[in-house]
Amino acid sequence: MTPAIVRSFVTEQHSPNSSLYLLLDPMADCATDDPLHVQALRQTLGDKALTRVPRPDLAHTPQACPVLVTLATPAVKPQEHLLSLSALRAKEDEGRSRRYVCGWLSSAATPTTVASHLITLGQLPQAAENHFFPVYEPLRLELLAATLNHGETGNWWPIEQWLFPASSGASALLIGQPDKGVAFGPLAADVQLDAALVSSLLGAWRNALELPVTYAPARWQGSTLLPAQAAAQAYKQIRKARQLGLKKHQDIVILALHHWMLHSNLHEHMDIRLLIDRAVQHGTSLSSLFAPINDASWQRIVSDLTAGAHR
């Protein structure tokens, strides 16, 4: 996420006949002297520019609820320095589990209507009664969008365009269309229940990429922090680990990291499958079972998988 990307969004995607909103999450850290702090923005833009998003699960602490900041209206252009500052803050937060900047939204609807719709989006089908998911959070939003089939549009409307920071370190754009949005199915709530574990996997993946690992043939080496659709990839790793019988979060993380660093089908190798089964049956941590395997052994295992000669 860069100031250039945000400026391009405003120039090319945002309609001058709509309002431009910045969505902030006060539950993330923000210094009181930061120009993007809610009180600082109140001084800069005025009270009417700030609209609380009334999370039903935070009714007792409204100050913790998200804030929809009106950066521009059809009659008023956005302040360039606020666009740049918000983009830089999104970049700064890309390795953190909670992000202050949740995105830039373009809509002809009033801020109250947009805020209400953000709450509606978080009330997913098949969830426990009255359960609310804060799907406006970038990671959760990315996971929610990933549950749509190819070519489908989520029921984002009346949000016309929604630019948000993706887990890869790049940006993502959602397009809302009237009367064309697809309602989210039961899978959406199931995925949201694992959002915290997905976040843990992504954090471990980012950390692993910074380590001086001597043998990691599948290691991500692209220009972004993580590959595209990283959050969806993490969720797939969770499902795969559970299908193999793993339940402990640490075991799920360890297996995912080895998939990402060594081979995507590592679990199919007989030697590795035996260790996974031992972890499942005896409760031994997968980390301790993998520890004795040296680089030469890993290279042999990966070679077997690459050649299709599973032992």
This prediction has a pTM of 0.93
d(CA 220, CA 156): 32
Query: How does DSSP classify residue 98?
Result: S
pLDDT of residue 131: 85
Q: How many CA atoms lie within 13 A of 21 on its CB side?
A: 31
Q: Could you tell me the mean pLDDT of each successive run of 10 residues in the chain, 311 residues long?
A: 92 92 95 95 95 93 95 93 96 91 97 96 77 95 93 91 96 91 87 96 96 93 94 97 96 98 96 96 94 96 82 43
pLDDT of residue 256: 98
pLDDT of residue 97: 85
For 222, counting Cβ atoms within 10 Å of its Cβ (0-12 exposed, 13-18 middle, 19+ buried), the class is exposed
Query: How does DSSP classify residue 149?
Result: P
pLDDT of residue 152: 86
Contact (CB, 8 A) for 240 and 253 = no
Contact (CB, 8 A) for 257 and 267 = no
pLDDT of residue 309: 53
pLDDT of residue 310: 45
Residue type, 65: C
DSSP letters, 155-218, are S-TT--EEEEE-TTSSEEEEE--TTTPBPP-HHHHHHHHTHHHHHHHHHHHHHHHTS--S--TT
Residue 281 φ then ψ, to 5°: -80, -35
pLDDT of residue 125: 78
Neighbours of 17 (CB within 10 A): 9
pLDDT of residue 128: 64
Neighbours of 136 (CB within 10 A): 25
Residue type, 185: G
State the residue for tokens 């998003």.
53
Closest residue by Cα to residue 263 from 296, 289, 298, 228? 298
pLDDT of residue 22: 98
Cis bond before residue 134 (omega within 30° of 0): no
* Spans of all domains in the chain: 3-182, 195-307
State the residue for tokens 């959406």.
188
